[in-house]
């Protein structure tokens, strides 16, 4: 199924101008159908590729010191 830019914007929950920006920068591949610039259409596969490229893996939390550091102030001494 080919999606129109407005449908793509609704799917991604972004503005239509954001969709056109992603297409113009090449972040989302598209099909141009028709004469001249043509109508823009994005396939489900192209959408899936874009979403995969923006995916961030979950990072394991790093173990921090259990005792917070006191701020180092020159004019005040904290006990």
Domain that residue 21 falls in: 2-53
pTM of the entire structure? 0.68
For residues 41 and 33, is the Cβ–Cβ distance under 8 A?
yes
Going 5 to 51 to 32 to 17, the CA torsion angle's sign is positive
- Kindly give the confidence (pLDDT) of every residue in the chain, 79 residues in length, as a single tens digit, with 9 standing for 90 and above: 899 999 999 999 999 999 999 999 999 999 999 988 889 999 999 999 999 999 888 887 776 666 777 767 677 665 6
CATH number at residue 35: 1.10.10
In a domain, 78, yes or no: no
In a domain, 75, yes or no: no
Total structural domains in the chain? 1
| Strand arrangement, sheet containing 39-43 | 2-3, 39-43, 31-33
């Amino acid at each position: 199924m080919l999606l129109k830019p407005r449908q793509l914007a609704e799917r991604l929950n972004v503005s239509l101008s954001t969709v056109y920006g992603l297409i113009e920068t090449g972040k989302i591949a598209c099909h141009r159908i028709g004469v001249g610039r043509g109508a823009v259409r994005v396939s489900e596969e192209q959408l899936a590729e874009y979403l995969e490229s923006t995916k961030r893996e979950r990072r394991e939390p790093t173990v921090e010191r259990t005792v917070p550091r006191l701020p180092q102030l020159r004019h005040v001494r904290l006990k």
